[in-house]
Structure 1
Amino acid sequence: MAAFDFKEIAPPNKGEDRDQFELFAREFLTMKGFAVLIDPDRGPDAGRDLVVEETRTGVAGETKVKWLVSCKHNAHSGASVLQSAESDIRDRIETHGCAGFIGFYSAVASSGLATKLRALEKTYPTIVFDREKIEASLLASREGIVLARRFMPVSTSSWERDHPKAAKIFAEEPSLKCKACGKELLGKHPSGIVVSWQTYSEEANLSFKTKHEHVYWCCKGDCDARLEEEFAKPGLIDGWEDISDLAIPIAYIRCVMSTLNELHNREQYSQEAFDATKELLLNLFPMVAREPSANDHERIQSLSAIPAHFGGWGYE
């Protein structure tokens, strides 16, 4: 599924914003490192939308290459860019004193145009930025996302919401490493579990207060099993939460409120468990300082449908 909707950019044949796609091309090519020599304008342009310059650095010094840029905004019609839409490319390149051709398209080039451009490459270098290549370049950097926000704000906002990144709040990146193997658990896709060991009483003793003895995080499977052997003691019971769930804003708030309620009820924390809980909350906070995504909402609904005694949130 496409990340950006190029139809947010005004069509080229009507309205005051009909040159928006050419302006977008200018900003995009500037981001890619080209210097703009001739900007987009209205009126007869002799077959060019922009002229840009590329600086190539080699052993013998710098070489400057001028490129003719042709913009075709077919996203609204959905039609491919036809061969007839790019007539006399060689003449246009020479008329503007350029050494290469760049096609900047919001759709794909037709097979006829693609064949024509391959033939042109024998004489002049050609580059085609179609919607897929443009999108890939925009997604590859923060600068690209900022540019996409300017010209396609609605679809960019939707994409960012569903592809959250940790907020830059602290000097160091958030980090939770497995207590057993040292693997980083807070990456692009958070993994692993948080385990808490606490005291319990099998008797109906109203004066009994739970004490949280140990809190740690680890990989699921072998690492979890190894640590369970180490920490399991008579009088202790364990509980766990998926780190990927705690990285959801609503689940994070639920965890914070649960911790506050435990402290209010005078449940005790060993110094080790309390320090680990603070470390957990601090490192998860940059992950949740955002709007919940569609996947987050689906996961919350799923957790709410699972009984609490089976590890979910339901029936409380």
Structure 2
Amino acid sequence: MGQDVSYHSLFDFKEISQGNVADGNQDHFELFAQDLLKAKGFYVERSVTRGRDGKKDMIVSEVMKGAVGEKKVFALVSCKHNAHSGKSVNDVIFDNVNSVLQQYDCEVFIGFYSTVVSSGVEEELQRHKDSRASSLKGYHIVDRSVIVEWLVETAETLNVFKRHMPVSYRRYISSDSFSGVYSEVPTAACHYCGVDVFDGFDGNVHTIREVKYQGFSDCVEVNKIRDVYFTCSEHADIRKCDYSQNFQGSCIVHDKSKVLSCVSPLGYIKKLMDDVRLIRSGYYSFDDDSFRKWSNLQRALFYFVSRSVESPSKNLFISRFNNYHLK
């Protein structure tokens, strides 16, 4: 194993092309922002366009739910990609921002930045938010640390990470910044070709369940997990065998999940707790071999979820459990 590395150093935003170099990729950062915001649940109302002043704007929306109804809130997204120079964002030309807010009926400003922002930026935004003459009702700064947090949050955001920053993604997945309780990196062989599906996380986890009903009712008599196995992306749709021959008189249910969705922290804990709840309720049961496979899967996946985090931000993984006070 190599030397442990700083968590944040795994993420190199210089993989994303510069915006001031006319090489055909100058909109890369804005497209990255658009994809990540979509993965976070925003709807893109107006895609990346370049205005008359040369600045690029994007309009997104989010549905806010309250006790008496829902409201669709529109936000202006402003992107600045200073990772190549390392400079902080120290200005927001608000005359332009305010006119765009009014033009597109936006209430919120989102600053999406690959570096940090100076205190003056937030002070300026707060000043305009407090002004009665301004259309601004709220703002959110998505700087480097927030983007890092978002990239590893769900299977959808991990896909954005993998697509736009492939070198960093590979470094993150294979880094030695894990919990320290494993002696080596786990592997998972495709049932058909033996390829390690943890190498790139392009494969699938398959769960085979035997379901038997009582007579012609909807009441489940048997819901037993009979097999757990892996396939690479090339063999994703090939069935391992005809299980109906093995469990005649039962309905065979074939569940398939992307490995990538299982190694995101939120995806992992959600799926694990869902399974535990179903096992505890008696809805799921196992035979000895399938339980061994399921248990080994959880232990293997935990390697990729339990990586150590250097000086985590207050919103990073640990905060997902801040309401749990176990004694």
TM-score (norm 1): 0.52
- 2:18 matched to 1:11? yes
Taking structure 1 as reference, are residues 165 and 36 closer, same or farther at Cα in structure 2, changes over 3 Å only?
A: farther
Residue 41 of structure 1 aligns with which residue? 49
Task: Tell me how far apart the structure 1 counterparts of residues 18 and 291 of structure 2 sit (CA, whole Å).
Answer: 51
Q: Are the aligned partners of 1:9 and 1:20 in contact in 2 as well (CA < 8 Å)?
A: yes
Higher relative contact order (CA 8 A, sep 6+): 2
State the 1:45 CA deviation: 6.2
Q: State which of 119, 129, 135 in structure 1 corresponds to 2:142.
A: 129
Q: State which of 207, 227, 240 in structure 2 corresponds to 1:171.
A: 207
Q: State which of 91, 101, 111 in structure 2 corresponds to 1:83.
A: 91
Task: Tell me how far apart the structure 2 counterparts of residues 138 and 145 of structure 1 sit (CA, whole Å).
Answer: 6
State the 1:143 CA deviation: 1.4
Task: Tell me how far apart the structure 2 counterparts of residues 165 and 25 of structure 1 sit (CA, whole Å).
Answer: 33
Residue 197 of structure 1 aligns with which residue? none
Q: State which of 72, 82, 92 in structure 2 corresponds to 1:64.
A: 72
Q: Are the aligned partners of 1:35 and 1:53 in contact in 2 as well (CA < 8 Å)?
A: yes
Residues 86-141 of structure 1: per-residue CA shift (max 9 Å, x gap)? 55433332233211111110111112112112223325200110010011011111
47-56 or 146-155, which moves further after superposition? 47-56
Q: Are the aligned partners of 2:81 and 2:115 in contact in 1 as well (CA < 8 Å)?
A: yes
Task: Tell me how far apart the structure 1 counterparts of residues 126 and 65 of structure 2 sit (CA, whole Å).
Answer: 26
Q: Are the aligned partners of 1:48 and 1:68 in contact in 2 as well (CA < 8 Å)?
A: no
Task: Tell me how far apart the structure 1 counterparts of residues 40 and 130 of structure 2 sit (CA, whole Å).
Answer: 24
- 2:194 matched to 1:158? no
- 2:153 matched to 1:140? yes
Residues 186-210 of structure 1: per-residue CA shift (max 9 Å, x gap)? xxxxxxxxxxxxxxxxxxxxxxxxx
Task: Tell me how far apart the structure 2 counterparts of residues 137 and 115 of structure 1 sit (CA, whole Å).
Answer: 25
Q: Are the aligned partners of 1:46 and 1:92 in contact in 2 as well (CA < 8 Å)?
A: no
Partner secondary structure for residue 49 of structure 2: coil
State the 1:282 CA deviation: 8.1
Paired-residue identity, %: 34
Residues 48-95 of structure 1: per-residue CA shift (max 9 Å, x gap)? 510111111223322111111100001111000112565543333223
Residues 13-45 of structure 1: per-residue CA shift (max 9 Å, x gap)? 111101011111111111121111111124526
Residue 37 of structure 2 aligns with which residue? 29
Structure label with greater radius of gyration = 1
Instruction: Note the aligned Cα RMSD (angstroms).
Output: 3.5
Q: Which amino acid aligns with 1:5?
A: D
- 2:106 matched to 1:93? no
Q: Which amino acid aligns with 2:20?
A: N
Residues 156-189 of structure 1: per-residue CA shift (max 9 Å, x gap)? 11101125788664539xxxxxxxxxxxxxxxxx
Q: Which amino acid aligns with 1:139?
A: V
In structure 1, list runs of 5 or more residues that go unmatched.
173-275, 296-316
Taking structure 1 as reference, are residues 281 and 7 closer, same or farther at Cα in structure 2, changes over 3 Å only?
A: same
139-148 or 77-86, which moves further after superposition? 77-86
Residues 290-309 of structure 1: per-residue CA shift (max 9 Å, x gap)? x99xx9xxxxxxxxxxxxxx
Task: Tell me how far apart the structure 2 counterparts of residues 118 and 112 of structure 1 sit (CA, whole Å).
Answer: 10
Q: Are the aligned partners of 1:49 and 1:70 in contact in 2 as well (CA < 8 Å)?
A: yes
How many residues are treated as equivalent by the alignment? 191
- 2:130 matched to 1:119? no
Task: Tell me how far apart the structure 1 counterparts of residues 102 and 290 of structure 2 sit (CA, whole Å).
Answer: 66
Taking structure 1 as reference, are residues 48 and 87 closer, same or farther at Cα in structure 2, changes over 3 Å only?
A: farther
TM-score (norm 2): 0.50
Partner secondary structure for residue 63 of structure 1: strand
Task: Tell me how far apart the structure 1 counterparts of residues 146 and 90 of structure 2 sit (CA, whole Å).
Answer: 18
